[in-house]
């Protein structure tokens, strides 16, 4: 049948497209790393600079994820369960970080917290450095990944409705107990999904951080910026190490997300 | 013949969803495929529509083979369960879609769609969108849309499934009118028995991918052939009685065997169906002239008042000990219960709770005797396949049910055996529709025993090396004693049976060897020879007894329509039986094997072992119940 | 709508403090930075801002971004719908793996994505060398930028269309098929209208991402002013060159576009939910 023929062509087109754009680049970077040799690759990863960048990336990512999980869940909860003036506007603007280019995000944060700004001088008066330092990175990450947790939790909370909570209330449970024993467990897969997405974004984030934190080795240089730095200084070999590490983390996060997707239906 | 479906088969992965379905539907007929969800009825519909291709078999519409024709060229109309209306198109555009595809001019299209919308009673709603219509209206749009291009066939997949019970009735009438008016051949798929009765010219009952029975609604209701159909359609009482001298015995009650009843072997179980509304209750005993068949007295256990009728459950004194198939007895419930529907004729007229009444039936129906059910223990993967092969051939020959049962000890074996089972299933499914396979993990002996207790099987077929021991004797003896089932053992592959030797010992109570052997011979259309051994020819009493016994056996077998003769041997029983069995004419030997409690003159498993080993003939050992 | 009056009335203090915390967090984190940018621009003279936006480099950068975005969206829309169609309608080995593969660009750092493209399509790469032999320069040139943008926006359309297709498209297609519609008729008259909102939503998301992509493009482009400098690269360049007014002005323009896109998305979502 001609239908089978056209099915076959469509499928082949898809395989070609994905093969060329996703699979082949991954194969290429893998081969390039292997050509370089495991020892040399390991050497690239374990230079003090690279290690610092990796550690900085992970610590800032974790701090951001924790804050984002709490505040994102709270935001979703408030948006779904409560009514207050400006709720609709706020709901619409939650996605703003997805729309604003990351460079612009970085610039906005520099304007706000930079050395000449009101807030910047205030913070440096207290001895806190924001720009070109960890707090700046965390702020940038919080900005770019704010929607992830909110948008993951919101629909689940909406579907959940207040029935379960009301039922728990009739059983005599207190407010906190209801939240921690009834609502939270039901939301957990969604929260974890949001957390995983945020973490993944944080591991790879470049645009906003390169503006906010700059490229200062052993101080404010995160993994993505380190890779870019190596490429800029014409040292692609040096960039391979952390690239492979980030790639592996990407795969792992995808696996976790896949697992969470399946978990979600069981709730 | 508008639609002819031939030997349709469809498998999804491991599941055989459509199993050898053949069907002929007349021009203009409204045919209903009735079955539970997952029975494969929708799959059949999708195959007819061309949305699925069958693995084998054919679909012919108006004489043209459509099996491999693209759905879009079949010119059939289809109504899906959720209607599948195009949400972005108006009602008019929906109805006209098929005409637009067929490149009909716009004006003609609009006329036709107006015509159809009028026919379904939706005049004036043409410019609405589906989302603006009620469920019932959407359904009618779907019907109009499917009929717009004058399809040869209208296929409907649970068209009332998503609707309110209240409007279903009206829509059914509406559909029937349109179908009659346009005279379009229609196949409707449903799980709703009431809907099938109301609409169908004929109903086909589907169960697990098989078409069990086809017929007009009233015939299927009053005279079903099978238990499945009898229980699927309507409420009913099915009691298992026994044939006794041309009558049916139900406990202490006898009913005449109706003339049109299917042939039953002497003493074989007879399944009697009577519908709750054919039961007559009376405060006085029925006279012979009443035309009512009395069932004795019963006590009203439960009474549910329903307005025009009341539903009763009665406990029947005289039917004690009769096995009811329906209503399903509760565990440990000693007395037989029946369901009754009584028309209420006025206040205080009907049966009252706890009242004891005379019970009779105006009419009853005998279901077809079921084929022989073989349970085949297939052993380990490296087993001797002879037993299995013979069982499959016998299953085909007798139109019986075959269950292939395997016990494995680990997962690796499991997948191996499963693959093998699947292969057998594929090869044999068409020849034995009631073929099932099952693989379980566990200890062999225990699992086989549990399995024999889990269903009603007639014959257990096993490899001689059943337990893996070298001596089959103790194993066989164990099997017989534990399962109380006739056991068929085979050592060499054989394609079927033509002549059965039934070795019977005179005077054994029950005569189950003759019964089982006879049933097998009848179903397999084989000849039978009944053989008995006289140990002391001088003993006049014994001689007469044995001769009488043989004559009785001959009569009962001939009564079943089996070509049959008798032989009498003289001498030592074991040697005589062996010599007789050695004659090449016989290809299956039935041995009655008394259980240990009985006076044991011959150790039957010994004979069985010699015959299987040395003569390579299958032996059916029948345990003789002693009281 | 979901509110339960007795529930909220019982502890209004707790409720309002939760609302307050959320709003403050949202204001500080998201709105104040945006406000800061606007305030900075308002503070500087309009003429200066306009001048910053109309330099040749700025205009070229915006034009390049538009060009890259248009091409990217075209390709990814067609391929996204095609991939969704294949994944929904066809059953083949490894279908789930492919669905996972489509998600990959979301998880990969844009810098790494750019780097991979450089490795594959660079002058010494497997495909780059071959293409360069044919006279096509990919890396440090416009094709590379397009490739990088396609990579980072690849999942959007497919991911948005797949669930909608599953829900509406497939049975509608079967219905049309039984009614005699050809494959093309079915696709244009039935499928596309059924999955329309999914496509539009996916395209809008891809559009936003494509306009704002920075990391992957930076690595691939070589950042050659007037040639391979997109809008975001231009902003970054201006910023690092301490030409703040140019950077701010361009930032605001692009943020405004992003904001507009956002509103479009919201409207679509709302309308879609109502339908």
User: DSSP characters for A25-49?
Assistant: HHHHHHHHHHHH-HHHHHHHHTSHH
Q: Does B88 touch chain C (CB under 8 A)?
A: yes
**What is the nearest CA distance from C50 to chain B, expressed in angstroms?**
45
Q: Does C90 touch chain A (CB under 8 A)?
A: yes
The percentage of chain B sitting over the pLDDT mark of 90, rounded to a whole number, equals 32
β-sheet bridge partners, residue B241: B270
Q: Does C92 touch chain A (CB under 8 A)?
A: yes
Other chains touching C, judged by 3 or more CB pairs under 8 Å: A, B
**What is the nearest CA distance from A48 to chain C, expressed in angstroms?**
20
Q: Which of A140-154, A204-218, B264-278 has the lowest mean pLDDT?
A: B264-278
Task: Say how far apart CA B369 and CA B265 lie, in whole Å.
Answer: 9
Q: Does B162 touch chain C (CB under 8 A)?
A: no
The percentage of chain A sitting over the pLDDT mark of 70, rounded to a whole number, equals 97
Contact C255 A143 (CB under 8 A): no
Which residues of chain B are within 8 Å of residue C192 when distances are taken between CB atoms?
none
The pLDDT of residue A123:
87
Contact B50 C178 (CB under 8 A): yes
Indicate which of C215, C244, C264 best probes the interface with A, i.e. most A CBs within 10 Å of its own CB: C215
B546: closest CA among B601, B597, B585, B500? B601
The pLDDT of residue B439:
83
Is it the case that residue A170 has pLDDT exceeding 90?
no
ipTM of the modeled complex:
0.90
HSE-CB of A107 using CA atoms within 13 angstroms = 34
Is it the case that residue A142 has pLDDT exceeding 50?
yes
Task: Tell me which residue in C83, C108, C218 faces A14 most closely, judged by beta carbons.
Answer: C83
Q: What is the mean pLDDT of residues C63-80?
A: 95
For residue range B479-520, list pLDDT tens digits in order: 777 777 788 888 777 777 889 998 886 555 446 778 788 888
Question: Which residue of chain A comes nearest to C118, CA vs CA?
Answer: A25
- Where b means 16+ CB within 10 Å and e means fewer, B364-379 reads bbbbebbbbbbbbbbb
Contact A200 C107 (CB under 8 A): yes
Q: Does B150 touch chain C (CB under 8 A)?
A: no
- CA B174 and chain centroid, separation: 35
Is it the case that residue A4 has pLDDT exceeding 80?
no
Indicate which of A20, A22, A245 best probes the interface with C, i.e. most C CBs within 10 Å of its own CB: A22
The pLDDT of residue B476:
64
**What is the nearest CA distance from C107 to chain A, expressed in angstroms?**
5
Q: What is the mean pLDDT of residues C98-119?
A: 92
Q: Does C242 touch chain A (CB under 8 A)?
A: no
Count of other CB atoms within 10 angstroms of residue A251: 14
The pLDDT of residue B453:
64
Which residues of chain A are within 8 Å of residue C102 when distances are taken between CB atoms?
18, 22
Contact A108 C37 (CB under 8 A): yes
Which residues of chain A are within 8 Å of residue C90 when distances are taken between CB atoms?
7, 10-11
Is it the case that residue C6 has pLDDT exceeding 50?
no
Q: Average model confidence (pLDDT) for chain B?
A: 84
pLDDT bucket at A173, cuts 50 / 70 / 90: confident
pLDDT bucket at A266, cuts 50 / 70 / 90: very low
The percentage of chain C sitting over the pLDDT mark of 70, rounded to a whole number, equals 94
Task: Say how far apart CA A194 and CA A206 lie, in whole Å.
Answer: 20
Task: Say how far apart CA C109 and CA A18 lie, in whole Å.
Answer: 18
Task: Tell me which residue in A75, A225, A250 faces C107 most closely, judged by beta carbons.
Answer: A250
Question: Which residue of chain C comes nearest to A253, CA vs CA?
Answer: C107
DSSP code for B258:
P
Task: Tell me which residue in B82, B88, B101 faces C179 most closely, judged by beta carbons.
Answer: B101
The pLDDT of residue B424:
85
Q: What is the mean pLDDT of residues B121-150?
A: 92
Q: What is the mean pLDDT of residues C163-188?
A: 88
Q: Does C32 touch chain B (CB under 8 A)?
A: no
- The SS3 assignment for C100 reads helix
Is it the case that residue C203 has pLDDT exceeding 70?
yes
List residues of chain A with CB under 8 Å from any CB of chain B: 1, 3
Other chains touching A, judged by 3 or more CB pairs under 8 Å: B, C
The pLDDT of residue B382:
54
Task: Give me the residue label for tokens 């009952």.
Answer: B205
Task: Give me the residue label for tokens 């029937």.
Answer: B176
Strands B499-503 and B527-534: parallel
Q: Does B74 touch chain C (CB under 8 A)?
A: yes
Which residues of chain C are within 8 Å of residue B82 when distances are taken between CB atoms?
171
Is C235 in contact with C17 (CB distance < 8 Å)? no
Q: Does C167 touch chain B (CB under 8 A)?
A: no
Which residues of chain B are within 8 Å of residue A3 when distances are taken between CB atoms?
70
Task: Tell me which residue in B80, B131, B145 faces C171 most closely, judged by beta carbons.
Answer: B80
Q: What is the mean pLDDT of residues C128-141?
A: 86
For residue range B93-135, list pLDDT tens digits in order: 999 999 999 999 999 999 999 999 998 999 999 999 999 999 9
Task: Tell me which residue in A83, A96, A246 faces C262 most closely, judged by beta carbons.
Answer: A96
The pLDDT of residue B31:
96
Which residues of chain C are within 8 Å of residue A226 when distances are taken between CB atoms?
none
- H runs (alpha helix) in chain C: 5-10, 12-26, 32-43, 46-53, 56-89, 95-107, 110-121, 126-133, 142-164, 170-178, 183-185, 192-212, 215-221, 231-240, 244-274
Question: Which residue of chain B comes nearest to C179, CA vs CA?
Answer: B98
The pLDDT of residue B405:
85
Is it the case that residue B596 has pLDDT exceeding 60?
no
Indicate which of A107, A138, A146, A160 best probes the interface with C, i.e. most C CBs within 10 Å of its own CB: A107
Q: Average model confidence (pLDDT) for chain C?
A: 86
Q: Which of A191-200, B40-49, B143-152, B554-563 has the lowest mean pLDDT?
A: B554-563
For residue B234, give Cα distances in angstroms to B168, B572, B602, C51.
19, 58, 52, 87
Which residues of chain B are within 8 Å of residue C179 when distances are taken between CB atoms?
72, 77, 97-98, 101, 145-146, 149
Indicate which of A1, A2, A5, A6 best probes the interface with B, i.e. most B CBs within 10 Å of its own CB: A1
Q: Which of B113-117, B331-335, C220-224 has the lowest mean pLDDT?
A: B331-335
Is it the case that residue B521 has pLDDT exceeding 50?
yes
Contact B86 C185 (CB under 8 A): no
Give me the total of CB pairs closer than 8 Å, taking one residue from chain A and one from chain B: 3
Q: Does C185 touch chain B (CB under 8 A)?
A: yes
The pLDDT of residue C272:
65
pLDDT bucket at B390, cuts 50 / 70 / 90: confident
Q: B598: left (phi > 0), else alpha (psi -120 to 50), else beta? A: beta
Q: What is the mean pLDDT of residues B443-447?
A: 76
Q: What is the mean pLDDT of residues B321-341?
A: 75
Is C97 in contact with A18 (CB distance < 8 Å)? no
Is it the case that residue B412 has pLDDT exceeding 90?
no
Q: Which tokens sit at C130?
A: 């071959």
The pLDDT of residue B598:
46
Which residues of chain A are within 8 Å of residue C30 when distances are taken between CB atoms?
93, 96-97, 143, 146
β-sheet bridge partners, residue B531: B503, B567
The pLDDT of residue B9:
85
- The SS3 assignment for B341 reads strand
Q: Does C205 touch chain A (CB under 8 A)?
A: yes
The pLDDT of residue B332:
57
Q: Average model confidence (pLDDT) for chain A?
A: 88
User: What single string gives the DSSP state of each residue in C157-188?
Assistant: HHHHHHHHIIIIIHHHHHHHHHTT--HHHIII
Chain C window 23-62: which residues touch A at a Cβ cutoff of 8 Å? 23, 25-26, 29-34, 36-37, 40
Q: What is the mean pLDDT of residues B41-64?
A: 92
Is it the case that residue B468 has pLDDT exceeding 60?
no
Task: Say how far apart CA B294 and CA B8 lie, in whole Å.
Answer: 46
For residue B474, give Cα distances in angstroms to B459, B464, B465, B471, B481.
19, 11, 11, 7, 10
**What is the nearest CA distance from B69 to chain A, expressed in angstroms?**
9
C216: closest CA among C260, C158, C154? C154
List residues of chain B with CB under 8 Å from any CB of chain A: 68, 70
Contact C115 A142 (CB under 8 A): no
The percentage of chain C sitting over the pLDDT mark of 90, rounded to a whole number, equals 40
Q: Does B102 touch chain C (CB under 8 A)?
A: yes
For residue range C230-251, list pLDDT tens digits in order: 999 999 988 888 888 888 888 8
For B21, phi then psi, to 5°, come to: -95, 130
For residue range C252-273, list pLDDT tens digits in order: 888 888 788 878 877 777 776 5
Give me the total of CB pairs closer than 8 Å, taking one residue from chain B and one from chain C: 62
- H runs (alpha helix) in B525-568: 540-559
Q: What is the 3-state secondary structure (H, E, C) of B263-323?
A: CCCCCCEEEEEECHHHEEEECCCCCHHHCCEEEEEEEEEEEEECCCEEEEEEEECCCCCCE
Q: What is the mean pLDDT of residues B455-473?
A: 63
Which residues of chain A are within 8 Å of residue B70 when distances are taken between CB atoms?
1, 3
The percentage of chain A sitting over the pLDDT mark of 90, rounded to a whole number, equals 52
Which residues of chain C are within 8 Å of residue A117 when distances are taken between CB atoms?
36
């Amino acid at each position: 049948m001609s239908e089978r023929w056209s099915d076959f062509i469509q499928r082949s087109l898809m395989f070609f497209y994905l093969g060329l754009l996703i699979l082949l680049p991954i194969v290429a970077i893998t081969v390039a790393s292997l050509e370089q040799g495991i020892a040399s690759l390991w050497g690239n990863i374990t230079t003090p600079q690279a290690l610092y960048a990796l550690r900085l990336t992970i610590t800032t990512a974790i701090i951001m994820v924790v804050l984002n999980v709490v505040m994102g869940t709270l935001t979703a909860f408030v948006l779904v369960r409560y009514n207050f003036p400006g709720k609709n506007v706020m709901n619409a603007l939650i996605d703003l970080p997805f729309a604003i280019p990351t460079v612009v995000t970085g610039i906005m944060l520099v304007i706000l917290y930079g050395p000449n700004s009101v807030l910047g001088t205030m913070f440096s008066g207290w001895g806190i450095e924001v720009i070109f330092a960890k707090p700046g990175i965390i702020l940038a990450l919080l900005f770019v990944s704010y929607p992830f947790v909110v948008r993951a939790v919101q629909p689940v909370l909406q579907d959940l409705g207040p029935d379960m909570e009301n039922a728990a209330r009739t059983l005599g449970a207190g407010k906190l107990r209801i939240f921690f024993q009834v609502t939270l467990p039901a939301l957990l897969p969604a929260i974890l999904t949001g957390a995983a997405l945020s973490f993944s974004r944080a591991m790879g984030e470049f645009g906003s951080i390169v503006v906010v934190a700059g490229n200062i080795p052993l101080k404010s240089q995160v993994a993505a910026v380190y890779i870019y730095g190596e490429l800029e200084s014409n040292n692609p070999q040096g960039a391979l190490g952390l690239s492979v590490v980030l790639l592996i983390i990407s795969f792992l996060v995808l696996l976790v997300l896949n697992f969470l997707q399946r978990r979600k239906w069981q709730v | 013949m508008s639609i002819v479906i031939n030997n349709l088969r469809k498998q999804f992965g491991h599941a055989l969803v459509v199993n050898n379905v053949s069907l002929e539907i007349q021009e203009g007929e409204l045919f209903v495929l009735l079955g539970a969800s997952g029975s494969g009825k929708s799959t059949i519909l999708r195959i007819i529509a061309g949305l699925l291709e069958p693995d084998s078999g054919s679909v012919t519409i108006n004489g043209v083979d459509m099996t491999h024709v693209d759905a879009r060229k079949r010119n059939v109309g289809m109504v899906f369960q959720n209607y599948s209306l195009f949400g972005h198109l108006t009602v008019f555009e929906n109805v006209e879609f098929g005409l637009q595809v067929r490149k009909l001019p716009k004006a003609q299209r609009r006329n036709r769609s107006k015509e159809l919308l009028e026919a379904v009673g939706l005049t004036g709603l043409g410019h609405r969108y589906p989302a603006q219509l009620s469920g019932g209206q959407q359904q009618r749009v779907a019907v109009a849309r499917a009929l717009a291009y004058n399809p040869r066939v209208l296929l409907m997949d649970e068209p009332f499934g998503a609707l309110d019970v209240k409007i279903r009735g009206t829509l059914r009438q509406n559909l029937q009118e349109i179908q009659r008016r346009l005279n379009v051949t229609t196949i409707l798929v449903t799980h709703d028995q009431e809907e099938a009765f109301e609409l169908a010219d004929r109903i086909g009952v589907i169960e697990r991918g098989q078409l069990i029975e086809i017929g007009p609604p009233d015939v299927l209701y009053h005279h079903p052939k099978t238990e499945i159909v009898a229980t699927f359609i309507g409420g009913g009482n099915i009691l298992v009685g026994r044939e006794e001298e041309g009558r049916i015995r139900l406990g202490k009650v006898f009913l005449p065997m109706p003339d049109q009843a299917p042939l039953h072997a002497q003493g074989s179980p007879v399944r009697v169906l009577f519908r709750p509304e054919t039961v007559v209750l009376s405060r006085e005993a029925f006279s012979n002239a009443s035309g009512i068949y009395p069932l004795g007295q019963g006590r009203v256990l439960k009474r549910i008042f329903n307005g025009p009728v009341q539903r009763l459950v009665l406990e029947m004194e005289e039917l004690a000990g009769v096995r009811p198939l329906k209503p399903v007895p509760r565990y440990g419930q000693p007395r037989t219960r029946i369901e009754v529907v009584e028309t209420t004729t006025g206040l205080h007229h009907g049966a009252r709770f706890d009242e004891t009444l005379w019970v009779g039936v105006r009419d009853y129906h005998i279901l077809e005797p079921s084929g022989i059910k073989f349970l085949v223990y297939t052993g380990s993967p490296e087993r001797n396949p002879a037993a299995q092969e013979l069982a499959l051939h016998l299953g085909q020959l007798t139109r019986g049910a075959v269950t292939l049962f395997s016990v494995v000890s680990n997962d690796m074996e499991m997948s191996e055996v499963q693959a093998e089972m699947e292969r057998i299933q594929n090869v044999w499914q068409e020849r034995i529709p009631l073929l099932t396979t099952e693989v379980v993990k566990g200890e062999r002996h225990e699992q086989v025993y549990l399995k024999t207790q889990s269903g009603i099987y007639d014959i257990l077929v096993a490899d001689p090396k059943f337990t893996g021991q070298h001596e089959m004797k103790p194993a066989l003896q164990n099997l017989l004693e534990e399962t109380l089932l006739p056991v068929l053992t085979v050592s060499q592959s054989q394609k079927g049976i033509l002549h059965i030797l039934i070795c019977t010992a005179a005077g054994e109570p029950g005569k189950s060897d003759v019964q089982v052997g006879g049933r097998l011979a009848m179903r397999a259309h084989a000849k039978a020879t009944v053989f008995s051994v006289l140990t002391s020819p001088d003993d006049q009493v014994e001689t007469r007894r044995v001769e009488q016994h043989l004559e009785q056996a001959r009569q009962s077998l001939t009564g079943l329509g089996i070509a049959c003769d008798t032989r009498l041997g003289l001498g030592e029983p074991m040697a005589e039986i062996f010599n007789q069995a050695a004659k090449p004419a016989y290809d299956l030997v039935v041995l009655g094997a008394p259980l240990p409690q009985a006076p044991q003159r011959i150790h039957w498993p010994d004979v069985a072992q010699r015959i299987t080993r040395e003569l390579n003939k299958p032996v059916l050992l029948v345990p003789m119940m002693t009281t | 709508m979901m509110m339960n009056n007795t529930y909220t009335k019982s502890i209004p203090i707790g409720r309002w403090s939760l609302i307050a915390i959320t709003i403050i967090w949202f204001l500080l984190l998201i709105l104040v930075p945006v406000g800061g940018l606007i305030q900075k621009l308002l503070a500087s003279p309009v003429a200066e801002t306009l001048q910053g936006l109309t330099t040749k480099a700025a205009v070229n950068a915006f034009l390049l971004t538009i060009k890259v975005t248009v091409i990217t969206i075209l390709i990814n829309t067609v391929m996204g719908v095609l991939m969704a169609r294949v994944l929904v309608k066809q059953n083949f080995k490894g279908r789930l793996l492919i669905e996972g593969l489509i998600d990959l660009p979301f998880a990969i750092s844009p810098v790494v994505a750019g780097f991979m493209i450089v490795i594959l399509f660079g002058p010494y790469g497997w495909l780059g060398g071959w293409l360069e032999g044919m006279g096509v320069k990919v890396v440090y040139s416009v094709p590379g930028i397009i490739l990088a943008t396609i990579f980072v926006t690849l999942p959007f359309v497919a991911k948005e269309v797949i669930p909608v297709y599953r829900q509406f498209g497939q049975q509608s297609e079967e219905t049309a098929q039984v009614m005699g519609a050809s494959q093309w008729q079915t696709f244009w008259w039935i499928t596309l209208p059924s999955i329309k909102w999914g496509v539009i939503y996916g395209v809008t998301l891809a559009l936003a991402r494509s306009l704002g992509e920075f990391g992957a493009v930076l690595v691939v482009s070589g950042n050659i002013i007037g040639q391979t400098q997109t809008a975001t690269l231009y902003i970054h360049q201006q910023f690092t060159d301490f030409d703040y007014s140019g950077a701010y002005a361009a930032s605001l323009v692009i943020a405004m576009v992003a904001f507009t896109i956002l509103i479009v998305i919201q409207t679509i979502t709302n309308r879609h939910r109502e339908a």
